[in-house]
Structure 1
Amino acid sequence: MRAYRMTNWGEPPQPTTVPVPSPGPGEVLVRVAGCGLCRSDLTMRRMPQVVGDKLGWRMPFTLGHETAGRVAAVGAGVDGLTLGEAVALVSPTSCGSCGHCLRGRDSMCPHGLTGRGYGRDGGLADYVLVPGRRDLLPLGDLDPRSAGPLTDAGATAYHAVRRALPRITASGRVVVIGAGGLGAFAVQFLRVLSGAQIFVVDPAPARRDYAVSVGASSASPDLSGVSGADVVLDFVGTDETIAAGIAAVTPGGAYGLIGSAGGRLAAPWFGTLPRDGEVFTFQGSSIADAQDVIALARAGTIRNEVTEFPFEAADDAYAQLAAGTLPGRAVIVLD
């Protein structure tokens, strides 16, 4: 089968062919219809071996952690699935049995540093092997070719909005920094779950226009003059966006760092952080987050903007992702 794989540390991935996996007891084989691309994939392309070894990653591995498709085969002991059924795959890995998972906080699972598409074989291939039903999300009538981003870009943005909701006052103001795949989802969740005015910051005119079309009150190319925000959600994460984002938070508000650009918050802390507020950061989401996002998409409450590429154009898709020219998510269509 076709697969787009990391083959060596610090080297770009490449298309290749590998055997189709066979499901063992409790496992499910999914025929991939579409797989979304994520900026974290770009980070993996540059990752040194010392970091990968600390995370427990194994080389080589197939990229892709925003995957959806159809059930192709099931192993012994797997019940309740229909061959050909449309499913999405839970994006973050979790064990299901630790204290965090048992409390529904599986995004905090200590086993989440390694998973499908990051250290193990992911969904950027014709088939992907799933360890059990817990990792499968029924899609109903949603198209599995484009549904993959709901499980990561969508679910991660939803997790951020849910975390911030207690800090948003009636008719308050929320600033979303970065209106790409995650930020555009966050705008929609804020529109659905709060009465806030939503102010979007993004240098790309197409992204600003799309954010306004899905619910943003206004949009700007920069943060100059922005202040008094109940919540700032930063989907970029540079030194500049972190400093400006925290400075824009009103006392009692919150700043959430979701972007992974590697920025830092400079000292001094006193006088910098929002008084009686909070600063939080995280990566990923819970299974419940992904289930809620899929339900919203099935109800037609949110839009999932994707640009489709054939498998043979994966390099071009990653180049456009890196350039920041796409209004939503890039998806490699394999079906």
Structure 2
Amino acid sequence: MKAVQYREVGKGPQVVEVDVPEPGPGQIRLKVTAAGLCHSDWFVMDLPAEQYSYGLPLTLGHEGVGVVDKLGAGVEGIEVGGSYAVYGPWGCGLCHACATGRENYCPNAAELGIAPPGLGAPGAMAEYMIVDDKRHLIPLGDLDPVQTVSLTDAGLTPYHAVKNALPKLRPGSTVLVIGVGGLGHVGIQIIRALSQARVIAADLGEDKLALAREVGAHETLISGADTADRVREMTGGRGVDAVFDFVGAGPTLETARAAVAVDGHIEIVGIGGGTLTAGFFATPFGATVRAPYWGSRSELMEVLDLARAGAISVHVETFGIDDAVTAYGKLHDGTVRGRAVIVP
């Protein structure tokens, strides 16, 4: 079968031929119908050799959906031929976090060698993939797999962040969304679906701001050194009740710090490598700062229900598996509008 793999540190992705995997006891094999690309893939592939710890070769793709093709021994309750989304942040399944469906915060996964697909385990960017346990499959029902696949991360991650900040998103509140890429444009829709907050979106390009307005932002700004000052002007000097930074670089975190109101909230969603100093004389009184990771299994169910209700959708650009290297190049260059999806 064809697969998109990272095979040599510093060399980028390749399309290769590998054997079709066989499911072991308790495992499920999917015939992949769609796999999403993510900036996290480039974060991994850009790591220097001394920091890279994901194994080689690595089949990429932590966003995946597919049709069940074969069941391993002992698997029950999963329909062969059924369409499922893959919940990516796999945990041990036994700890308190996993028992509540919050496997994204499993404290034992790393020690046990458990890794998400595409981020250690073989991922979805192939014609077939193995899912380790049936609890990591969420039925798609009548949702279109190509339009849905990115919701497993680009929907789940912002949903998890927005849900945590909901107490701040009361009627009359204002939020700032920094970065209107694959996650940010879904994040805006989630904010609008779950609250009555006013949304200000900031990005470097007018094309991204046009997308922001298209998906529900009330106001938009070209990002720059004066973004926080302009946001404070738009809020009567008070600042915003919540900031969702989908970039996470040093300059955007500084914008978040300078724009957030007293008793406000900052969610650092992007993995741009920046850090934010918090505390007295660094952030406004009462302001909280959080770096969320992915989301829970129940939250993925809720995200898919929002999609079924028509409340959220993903703007996707599709590629065949043979064009995966080109797709990753566009992602790296920032020229993908919304989310790139491989359709094997």
Q: TM-score range by the shorter chain?
A: over 0.9
User: Corresponding residue for 1:259?
Assistant: 270
Distance 1:40 1:333 in 2: 19
User: Corresponding residue for 1:216?
Assistant: 217
Using the TM superposition, name which of 220-229 and 311-320 deviates more.
Answer: 220-229
User: Corresponding residue for 1:17?
Assistant: 17
1:235 aligns with 2:251: no
Q: Is the CA contact 2:4–2:59 (under 8 Å) kept in the aligned structure 1?
A: yes
User: Corresponding residue for 2:98?
Assistant: 101
1:178 aligns with 2:179: yes
Query: Structure 1, residues 63-87: CA drift from partner, whole Å, max 9, x if none?
Result: 0000011111111211222222111
Distance 2:330 2:299 in 1: 28
Q: Is the CA contact 1:257–1:280 (under 8 Å) kept in the aligned structure 2?
A: yes
What is the RMSD of the two structures over their aligned residues, measured on CA atoms?
A: 1.5
Using the TM superposition, name which of 290-299 and 202-211 deviates more.
Answer: 202-211
User: Corresponding residue for 2:154?
Assistant: 153
Deviation of 1:285 (Å): 1.3
Letter of the 2:16 partner, please give it.
Answer: T
User: Corresponding residue for 2:307?
Assistant: 297
User: Corresponding residue for 1:314?
Assistant: 324
Q: Is the CA contact 1:6–1:62 (under 8 Å) kept in the aligned structure 2?
A: yes
Deviation of 1:322 (Å): 1.4
Deviation of 1:60 (Å): 1.2
Distance 1:82 1:65 in 2: 22
SS of match in other structure, 2:155? helix
Letter of the 1:90 partner, please give it.
Answer: Y
Q: Is the CA contact 1:92–1:112 (under 8 Å) kept in the aligned structure 2?
A: no
Deviation of 1:265 (Å): 2.5
Using the TM superposition, name which of 183-192 and 200-209 deviates more.
Answer: 200-209
Deviation of 1:135 (Å): 0.8
Q: Is the CA contact 1:254–1:274 (under 8 Å) kept in the aligned structure 2?
A: no
> Which of 320, 324, 337 is equivalent to 1:327?
337
SS of match in other structure, 1:181? coil
Which runs of structure 2 are paired with 1:1-335 in the superposition (5 Å)? 1-53=1-53, 57-112=54-109, 114-222=115-223, 223=227, 224-227=229-232, 228-265=239-276, 269-334=279-344
Deviation of 1:271 (Å): 1.9
Distance 1:50 1:293 in 2: 37
Deviation of 1:111 (Å): 4.5
Query: Structure 1, residues 163-202: CA drift from partner, whole Å, max 9, x if none?
Result: 1111223210000000111111111111011110000001
Q: Is the CA contact 1:204–1:325 (under 8 Å) kept in the aligned structure 2?
A: no
Deviation of 1:48 (Å): 2.8
Q: Is the CA contact 1:69–1:145 (under 8 Å) kept in the aligned structure 2?
A: no
Distance 1:23 1:105 in 2: 25
TM-score (norm 1): 0.94
Q: Is the CA contact 1:31–1:126 (under 8 Å) kept in the aligned structure 2?
A: yes
Distance 1:33 1:198 in 2: 34
SS of match in other structure, 1:261? coil
Aligned length: 330
Distance 1:209 1:241 in 2: 20
SS of match in other structure, 1:225? helix
Distance 1:318 1:96 in 2: 33
Contiguous gaps of at least 5 residues in structure 2:
233-238
Contiguous gaps of at least 5 residues in structure 1:
none
Deviation of 1:266 (Å): 5.2
Letter of the 2:197 partner, please give it.
Answer: A
Letter of the 2:208 partner, please give it.
Answer: R
SS of match in other structure, 2:306? helix
Deviation of 1:333 (Å): 0.6
Runs of 4 or more, structure 1, over 4 Å off, are none
Q: Is the CA contact 1:93–1:111 (under 8 Å) kept in the aligned structure 2?
A: no
Distance 1:119 1:145 in 2: 24
Distance 1:327 1:171 in 2: 30
SS of match in other structure, 2:147? coil
Using the TM superposition, name which of 191-200 and 270-279 deviates more.
Answer: 270-279
Q: Is the CA contact 1:28–1:129 (under 8 Å) kept in the aligned structure 2?
A: yes
Letter of the 2:321 partner, please give it.
Answer: F
SS of match in other structure, 1:128? strand
